[in-house]
Amino acid sequence: MAVSVSPPRSGPAAVADVLDRALAGVRISDDDAVTLLRSRDLVRVGRVADELRGRKTNPDEVTFIVDRNVNYTNVCVTDCDFCAFYRRPEDRAEGYILPTPIILQKISETLAIGGTGVLLQGGHHPDLRIDWYERLFRTVKEQFPACHLHALSPPEIMHIARRSRLTVPTVLSRLRDAGLDSLPGGGGEVLVDRVRQIIAPKKTKTDEWLGVMRHAHRLGISTSATMMYGHVETLEERVEHLRRIRDLQDEAPGFRAFISWTFQRDGTRLGELVTETPTSFDYLLTQAVSRIYLDNVDHIQSSWVTQGLKIGQVALHFGADDLGSIMMEENVVSAAGTTHRAGIEDFRRLIRAAGKRPVQRDMFYRPVDVD
């Protein structure tokens, strides 16, 4: 695919030029993406994102998944300034590790309402090594062989590797053999080390996060990619994050979807430093630009959990083809003061009201139930 190398410009003519080239199948550059973000021309950018979305996926359908976010522990040693969920190891009153029977009960409840899997993520607990995860995954698969384990973000994989004194490929291979099906893209935040040093200095660096995903893709483990923005990053750094995702997808394909959301500030140390957070307008524009820029990622997911159901619905006309999960359980975002809830029928009504046909999918975007 051709790559645009035009210098950055501004104004309506520059925006029109970028969008025309994108519609013609020319890969836009970083400068082009910045031009679109700075333009504030939400309607035109959104229209093109919607057109490109319709070329990638069925334009008449919107997919969603029924699963559950199970946070197996809230104990974490990384002390991320943007997180209101974690507790330090010494906090014995509020720190926890979910017992395996409780995790199994949560999975059983999810499958009972037509769910197809669980999103299993947690803190970086200093006492959990690879054998704990292997036992858990094998137990899950023994009791629920059809349950898809979408589990452990790249920082968690790095943490397990360090605590277990193993390489990342070894950890991924052993967890895959124990039942791991795919990796979520959590912990990406913004893939620029200047930003990461400010908001999460103890967490994985950019190249480490990408390295885990590269190894996963080469081992046949599919993943998703995420971006949590709207804090200390610049627009250029937001686009740099997108470029690192696009470059890795070119090199070692495996990202099935991209999900972005805005920083949720309540109860966080970072929130005390951030004076201006993105509006719904900013969210929709950033999502639309991500659809245009990430020409090698098929699915863009709307973040209704952080934006609310109404904006989540509007986002379906700004490049998103997927509404994500009904999130029958969610703890991390809600800890930061944002709580939205929805059920299967809520999703179906929302999608129909947007003029689309609801399709329940599994983690591989295969249809499970078509409305």
Tens digit of each residue's pLDDT, the chain (371 residues): 555 545 556 678 999 999 999 999 999 999 999 999 999 999 999 999 999 999 999 999 999 999 999 999 888 887 776 677 778 877 777 889 999 999 999 999 999 999 999 999 998 888 999 999 999 999 999 999 999 999 999 999 999 999 999 999 999 999 999 999 999 999 999 999 999 999 888 889 999 999 999 999 999 999 999 999 999 999 999 999 999 999 999 999 999 999 999 987 666 677 777 777 889 999 999 999 999 999 999 999 999 888 889 999 999 999 999 999 987 764 544 444 444 467 899 999 999 999 999 999 999 999 998 77
Residue 95 lies in a domain: yes
Residue 34 lies in a domain: no
Per-residue pLDDT, 10: 65
Per-residue pLDDT, 343: 85
Number of domains in the chain: 1
Residue 105 lies in a domain: yes
Residue 43 lies in a domain: no
Per-residue pLDDT, 337: 40
Per-residue pLDDT, 270: 76
- What residues make up the domain containing 240? 59-370
Per-residue pLDDT, 335: 44
Residue 12 lies in a domain: no
* 298: its two tokens: 């098929």
Residue 2 lies in a domain: no
- 58-106 pLDDT, tens per residue? 999 999 999 999 999 888 887 776 677 778 877 777 889 999 999 999 9
Q: pTM of the entire structure?
A: 0.90
Per-residue pLDDT, 85: 73
| CATH code of the domain containing 298 | 3.20.20.70
Residue 274 lies in a domain: yes
Residue 4 lies in a domain: no
